[in-house]
Structure 1
Amino acid sequence: MKSLLDGITPEHINTTPFPHVFISNAMDAATAQALGDGFPTFAQIAWSGGSRPPGNRRYQLSAWPIINHDELSATWKEFVDLHSSPAFFEQVVALFQEYWPDALKAALDGSLLGHSMGLLMRDRFENCRILQDARVEINTPIAEADGPSSSRGPHLDMPNRLFSCLYYLREEDDDAVGGDLELFRWTNGPTANIDKYALPADSVEVVATIPYRANQMVIFPQGINAVHGVSVRQPTPHTRRYVFISAEIADDWLKSPVTLS
């Protein structure tokens, strides 16, 4: 199996509004189809209750449980194993070699490479400097009574994260409106408290929108300007499906420029 970054070079990087790569048809058609057809069920991911889950709520299943899941396909196990491996991490580091923040490099003794690696949920930071994950995530259907909503407005990811990669596996019959990835820029510089779950609406503005579409991938390094969010999604019976790939360290290397009460 090829990785999402095979054949991707720094020439693919778009720097507006922050460094990122967006690729359509990221995996070969057969693999993308197999991943879509074998996407974990809601019960396999999270929900065993009899009542309807909350609308537009995120649930996840990490790589380590997927690899050890008796009911999931060999394709899924190979995919998450590859994309949570040190080899994939090395591809990410090489791709964005000119864009890693100085504060992140300083937190890793000057280099992102050469550290002990592990998997979230299997390993601990006491034994591994960097923990990776390639997890299935979903946003649940939205009932008409719930009305339109965004699963996550403009925000920065966790301050100990190194990069974020989203690989979409939208169902063929999913006709939902919204749920696209929005890329923002600060309106007056990074003056909001980045530790907040959602940034104030007037502190950022949308610059680019990446459609929620099957077999599409977007990846970007963490940084003070990497503000992103999900557009408002209209009521729908469909589940929003994707893989989230990331790596983290123990310490919060990304610091807020201001602390708000």
Structure 2
Amino acid sequence: MQSVLSGITPNDIRLAPFPHVFVRDVLDDETHRALSASFPPFSMIGWDNPKAKPGSNRRYQLSAWPIQNHPDLPDVWKEFVTLHSSPAFFAEVVALFRDHWPAALKATLGGDLLGHSMGMLMRDQFDRARILQDARVEINTPVTAGPSSSRGPHLDTPNRLFTCLYYMRHPDDDAVGGDLELFRWKDGPISNIHCYALPEDAVEVVSVIPYRANQMVIFPQGIDAIHGVGIRHPTPHTRRYVFISAEIEENWLVSPAAAA
């Protein structure tokens, strides 16, 4: 199996509104179809109780470590999450964005993102590994109430190193909305950058990446890496994707407005 970064180079990086790569048809059709057909059901990700209905447009997740050890998931899923939570994949990410890693992050890691002990979220702790990775299945449940966004404009957690989203929209999903929106600051970063959703008057949408099957978006964490999920309209379908990331223990990302 090849990684979602196979064949991608720094020439593919788009700089506006922040450094990111957006690629369609990332995996070969056979692999994508196999993953899509065996995407873990809600009973694995949420709970196994059909009488307990989840809320509208709520997020649930299943990390790589339990996927690797789940007796009912096929080898294609175990191979996929193992590859994308490996030091080899992390090295691919580091090389891809070699000219775009924030200085504060590099300083926190002693000047270099490579050469550190590596582990997996849920399996390991930061006392054993400097960097923890994950490649987890995530879903947003069907929209059974009014139109809503599962997450408005925001920055990811301040200890994150990068975010990679691999979309796995179901072939029958005809839902409206749920696209990835990329934002920029209107007047520079605010001091409270880690609220659940940034104030709408502080940011503006620059581009929209449609929610499509077999599509990948990846970007380094940074003060300008503002993104969110567009409004989803009522639908019985589940929004499906894989969230690939790496984290350190320290909250290295700080707003210049707060630091001042």
Correspondence for 1:106: 107
Deviations 1:132-151 (A, max 9, x none): 000000000011xx100000
Contact 1:192 1:203 in 2 (8 A): no
3-state SS of the aligned residue for 1:76? helix
Letter in 2 for 1:199: L
| Residue 51, structure 1, aligned to residue 47, structure 2 | no
Distance in 1, Cα, partners of 2:194 & 2:205: 20
Distance in 2, Cα, partners of 1:258 & 1:175: 42
Contact 1:153 1:198 in 2 (8 A): yes
Letter in 1 for 2:122: M
Contact 2:25 2:215 in 1 (8 A): yes
Distance in 1, Cα, partners of 2:159 & 2:13: 23
Distance in 2, Cα, partners of 1:184 & 1:192: 17
Contact 1:192 1:199 in 2 (8 A): no
Deviations 1:163-206 (A, max 9, x none): 00000000001000000000000000112411211100010000
Percent identity, please: 68
| Residue 88, structure 1, aligned to residue 54, structure 2 | no
3-state SS of the aligned residue for 1:182? strand
Contact 1:179 1:230 in 2 (8 A): yes
| Residue 150, structure 1, aligned to residue 152, structure 2 | no
| Residue 28, structure 1, aligned to residue 28, structure 2 | yes
What is the Cα deviation at residue 258 of structure 1? 3.7
Distance in 2, Cα, partners of 1:107 & 1:179: 35
Contact 2:67 2:77 in 1 (8 A): yes
Distance in 2, Cα, partners of 1:106 & 1:23: 30
What is the Cα deviation at residue 26 of structure 1? 0.5
Gaps of 5+ in 1: none
| Residue 10, structure 1, aligned to residue 10, structure 2 | yes
| Residue 65, structure 1, aligned to residue 66, structure 2 | yes
3-state SS of the aligned residue for 2:158? coil
- How many residues of Structure 1 are paired with residues of Structure 2 in the alignment? 257
3-state SS of the aligned residue for 1:165? strand
What is the Cα deviation at residue 82 of structure 1? 0.1
Letter in 2 for 1:204: V
3-state SS of the aligned residue for 2:256? coil
TM-score by length of 2: 0.98
Letter in 1 for 2:224: N
3-state SS of the aligned residue for 2:165? strand
Correspondence for 2:224: 225
What is the Cα deviation at residue 48 of structure 1? 2.4
Letter in 1 for 2:66: P
The RMSD of aligned alpha carbons is 0.7
TM-score by length of 1: 0.97
Letter in 1 for 2:65: W
Letter in 2 for 1:95: L
Distance in 2, Cα, partners of 1:177 & 1:47: 26
Letter in 2 for 1:123: D
TM alignment of 1:162-201, pairs within 5 A: 162-201=161-200
TM alignment of 1:247-258, pairs within 5 A: 247-258=246-257
Distance in 2, Cα, partners of 1:103 & 1:192: 17
Distance change in 2, residues 1:92/1:75 (3 Å): same
Letter in 2 for 1:28: D
Letter in 2 for 1:67: Q
3-state SS of the aligned residue for 1:14? coil
Distance in 2, Cα, partners of 1:47 & 1:198: 27
Gaps of 5+ in 2: none
